[in-house]
Structure 1
């Protein structure tokens, strides 16, 4: 980071650090902080703000300027494959309140927040990393359901908003990222947002399947975006130079007004100036009263169904994770957490991952308690089948759902509303006490 700053002191450094399942700073261990759905279930706006402030302090200490968070999408569709527990919930008012609290906490630590994915990725059944999602709702539904969190974000002073690669026919017939009616008409003029508009990653198949990267950048800027999120796909940086050349060519061809680029540059400069005016974030002190905040917040989000003597686990269990893999927004190095969290408390804990197409391990040893971990079981038929098979063998099993809860199953059913390390630790402590 020091080398980057030496080249350009005003550089904006941004990451995806949502807490919960999408973490960059703690990718190797899992996040110390519960994600949005857990915070929404816990229901304490002050806690949401404090969690975001602690994340902001960590980001500030690492030299980060801008955090691509919070997710402000209303998860209206339980079958959504990419938002899910990244959303504060399915109700617009709740999502709006927690979005504002999260922004206040993060920006209070001197890191700019970026609410995403405008105009709302919550009512989709398609992952925009893989293909273009369509939101079929009416304009009235979009305004009543999807826009309130973004209105709340703007009122809270959010510094940036990320547009999603979404087709919303009620708003326009092109994806929101490339739509002037959406970015300039709706976001700028109707909602009054004057901060930085940044695109979601232009390598995502939702747009990359239809246009070359340079063309996506040009169209997004013309629509009203101020910054283009692009990965470096070539070691020598030629992919970035390709974007630059496409933008220059579009200006020369009259497709992209210079005034639009000047406006975008001014908004980038405004974010740099905002960051320069922030007080340095306070470093975490020894015995900080918020040291246990992540665990406390995650514990408040636990919801348990079923009756059992405490502790539920008196002996080291076999933990079987029915693993559907990680969605595209997650870091591939982030490990699943419950088996490890239980092993810290019950050292003889054994963990096994079962993937689609795998058979179940032998579950007949009743001397060892059985814990079955699932994520979004209601979305995966194979998980439902294997879970049913496992419970026929071991009806005494504990089931831990780390995604969106479905019908309770097992002797004890624990919904954590997230698969962060904090949520895993909270579940492990509850099961062993």
Structure 2
């Protein structure tokens, strides 16, 4: 067996952690020099702007280079509702649901390429995207507009196109959340969802986009913290050898990346170090620890991995294989960066707005809008899920109301009321019903069931700046003056 020091280095190599702020803390610089696998960037790391992100990425690479390593630098940049680089303004590209509704594969591929080029310029080499979940449950609280479609075939072709676009820019994709988080009614950040589906259904629905992504050359796949009794009735996917073995059967040879191990679905009952060991033993190769973690946690996880190797609970060969898969990914990325930079179609921005118009038209009532001269915008404000975070959404409001609070004095004018996922939030529906001047409802979330209530509804299928442009066009045609 290698020396304890060598095993500890391997135990660091499989970890990706995160810290707050735009500069690299000294403790994390030391861990990178010792061999830690990399860093995941979140909103607190990126809010100072892209030049700051480039500087931070350079700091991370320099610290790793001192130890002779190449780091993974990763981020959740899905476009649409989930953006870290554009968290202060909103995404400049369409999200998955709008792209799936527009159903223009060239636009989807170009969107992936645009994101890849932006990430590459920022020094990021692995994008935790796209979402390959089929959002077959309209009440899903965490996937929703992050999914390309409720239809497996539509989702599959767009996942493959987005992967091709992203990776053409020399940035690796991490397709998520295997084996599929779409038909669940809970958020694995705060609970342990169960996917009650037969193997036949899984093969006909959940697995279809992942297979398409594998065929498109997706570099890596992220696990989900959900229990799938048809495969493993006890352990969530991230910790389950049968689940991760199924992923290898689909043809993936690259690293399997755990979803963040601080999420309740993975570690609420066992702690992060124990979850890390279980995930490695099951077949995961790169462990995400979650946002804003102390360096002490990285060392605790490394110690747990070393102890598991020494006790025989975790075979050394499994740990070595995990590191080898990550190293091959990094070597492939280095080679990809030597190719000429992929170029964006100069008409891309215009294509985005046209795609936003098509997405809006597929799920909206565009024929019966009332006169909106002098209309005011009322936002019914609700908290986003953890994956989306605290980012802007909707049109700039004139009035903000919160479900359950007394209504403020409202303008004597038609009201453009905007909501998110009202179909699964009864308290939002009750608030909307109290807004007697409501003339138009703009649903920025998943376009779920709607009883009409005599108010026409616009559904841009997720928030983005092109979506704002498309909604604004429609409202102005009915007299809105802003």
With the length of structure 2 as denominator, give the TM-score of the two structures: 0.82
1:343 counterpart residue number: none
Q: Give distance in 2, aligned partners of 1:223 and 1:66.
A: 22
Match runs of 1:336-415 below 5 Å: 336-339=393-396, 351-363=398-410, 365-366=412-413, 369-390=414-435, 393-394=436-437, 397-405=439-447, 406-407=449-450, 408-415=452-459
CA contact (8 A) 1:376 1:402 kept: yes
Displacement of 1:411 in angstroms is 4.2
Distance change >3 Å, CA 354–CA 87, structure 1 → 2: same
Deviations 1:32-77 (A, max 9, x none): 1111000010011111001111111101110110000000000011
Number of residue pairs matched by the alignment:
411
Distance change >3 Å, CA 430–CA 282, structure 1 → 2: farther
1:238 counterpart residue number: 296
- The range that moved more, 29-38 or 416-425, is 416-425
Give the one of 143, 153, 156 matched to 1:93. Answer: 153
Q: Give distance in 1, aligned partners of 2:386 and 2:241.
A: 27
Q: Give distance in 2, aligned partners of 1:86 and 1:232.
A: 20
Give the one of 78, 85, 100 matched to 1:18. Answer: 78
2:60 counterpart residue number: 4
Q: Give distance in 2, aligned partners of 1:425 and 1:148.
A: 33
SS in 1 for 2:177: strand
Deviations 1:278-328 (A, max 9, x none): 14674878x932233433322221123153579x6444x321111221111
2:460 counterpart residue number: 416
The gaps in structure 2 that reach 5 residues or longer are 1-56, 478-482
Q: Give distance in 2, aligned partners of 1:314 and 1:384.
A: 25
CA contact (8 A) 1:23 1:331 kept: no
CA contact (8 A) 1:51 1:293 kept: no
2:242 counterpart residue number: 181
- The range that moved more, 240-249 or 380-389, is 380-389
Q: Give distance in 1, aligned partners of 2:472 and 2:407.
A: 23
2:26 counterpart residue number: none
The gaps in structure 1 that reach 5 residues or longer are 340-349
1:335 counterpart residue number: 392
Structure 2 residue 129 is the aligned partner of structure 1 residue 69: yes
Match runs of 1:217-232 below 5 Å: 217-231=276-290
Displacement of 1:192 in angstroms is 2.1
Q: Give distance in 2, aligned partners of 1:327 and 1:232.
A: 15
SS in 2 for 1:220: helix
Displacement of 1:361 in angstroms is 3.1
Match runs of 1:247-262 below 5 Å: 247-262=305-320
2:175 counterpart residue number: 115
Q: Give distance in 2, aligned partners of 1:234 and 1:196.
A: 23
Deviations 1:340-376 (A, max 9, x none): xxxxxxxxxx52222221123334603xx31000111
SS in 1 for 2:287: coil
Deviations 1:117-157 (A, max 9, x none): 00000010000000100001111111111000000010000
RMSD of equivalent CA atoms = 1.9
CA contact (8 A) 2:403 2:431 kept: no
CA contact (8 A) 2:199 2:230 kept: yes
Distance change >3 Å, CA 74–CA 232, structure 1 → 2: closer
- The range that moved more, 94-103 or 276-285, is 276-285
Distance change >3 Å, CA 328–CA 385, structure 1 → 2: same
Displacement of 1:232 in angstroms is 5.8
Distance change >3 Å, CA 234–CA 194, structure 1 → 2: closer
Displacement of 1:426 in angstroms is 2.0
1:296 counterpart residue number: 354
1:209 counterpart residue number: 268
2:20 counterpart residue number: none
Deviations 1:245-265 (A, max 9, x none): 110010001001110011111
Q: Give distance in 1, aligned partners of 2:260 and 2:75.
A: 12
CA contact (8 A) 2:381 2:419 kept: yes
SS in 2 for 1:319: strand
Q: Give distance in 1, aligned partners of 2:192 and 2:179.
A: 14
Match runs of 1:264-343 below 5 Å: 264-279=322-337, 282=341, 288-303=346-361, 304-308=364-368, 313-315=372-374, 317-332=375-390, 334-339=391-396
Distance change >3 Å, CA 431–CA 129, structure 1 → 2: same
Distance change >3 Å, CA 109–CA 314, structure 1 → 2: farther
CA contact (8 A) 1:56 1:106 kept: yes
